[in-house]
Structure 1
Amino acid sequence: MNINEKIRKQLFDREFQFQASRSSGPGGQNVNKVNSKVTLIFNVPNSMILEEDEKSRLMEKIGNKLDSEGNIQILAQEKRSQIQNKEIAIRKFYDLLSKAFHKKKIRKVTKPSKGAIEQRLKEKKALSEKKKGRRGEW
Structure 2
Amino acid sequence: MLFITPRISIDEAELTENFVRSSGAGGQNVNKVSTAVELRFSIFENLTIPYDVKMRLIKLAGRRVTQEGVLVLFVQTHRTQDMNRKAARERFVELLQKAAAPPPPPRIATKPTRGAVKRRLVGKAIRATVKSGRKAPSLDDE
Normalising by the smaller structure, the TM-score range is 0.7 to 0.9
Q: How has the CA–CA distance of structure 1 residues 30 and 74 changed in structure 2, closer, same or farther, with 3 Å as cutoff?
A: same
Q: CA deviation at 1:19?
A: 0.7
Matches within 5 A, 1:47-126: 47-51=46-50, 53-54=51-52, 57-58=55-56, 61=59, 62=61, 64-102=63-101, 103-126=103-126
Q: 2-side partners of 1:25 and 1:84: how far apart?
A: 17
Q: How has the CA–CA distance of structure 1 residues 54 and 79 changed in structure 2, closer, same or farther, with 3 Å as cutoff?
A: same
Structure 2 match to 1:17: 16
Q: 2-side partners of 1:71 and 1:134: how far apart?
A: 66
TM-score w.r.t. the length of structure 2 is 0.74
Q: 2:5 aligns with which of 4, 8, 11?
A: 8
Report the count of equivalent residues.
132
Structure 1 match to 2:30: 31
Give the structure with higher Rg (CA): 2
Segments of structure 1 that go 5 or more residues without pairing to the other structure are 1-5
Task: Pick 1 or 2: higher relative contact order, CA cutoff 8 A, min separation 6.
Answer: 1
**Does the 8 Å CA contact 1:24/1:31 hold for their aligned counterparts?**
yes
Q: What's the % identity of the aligned pairs?
A: 33
**Does the 8 Å CA contact 2:53/2:99 hold for their aligned counterparts?**
no
**Structure with the largest fraction of helix:** 1
Q: How has the CA–CA distance of structure 1 residues 83 and 26 changed in structure 2, closer, same or farther, with 3 Å as cutoff?
A: farther
TM-score w.r.t. the length of structure 1 is 0.75
Q: 1-side partners of 2:58 and 2:27: how far apart?
A: 41
Q: 1-side partners of 2:72 and 2:40: how far apart?
A: 5
Q: How has the CA–CA distance of structure 1 residues 63 and 79 changed in structure 2, closer, same or farther, with 3 Å as cutoff?
A: closer
The C-alpha deviation readout for 1:80-99, integer Å capped at 9, x for no partner, is 12122122212222333234
Task: Report the 3-state secondary structure (helix = DSSP H, G, I; strand = E; otherwise coil) of the residue aligned with 1:23.
Answer: coil
Task: Report the 3-state secondary structure (helix = DSSP H, G, I; strand = E; otherwise coil) of the residue aligned with 1:38.
Answer: strand
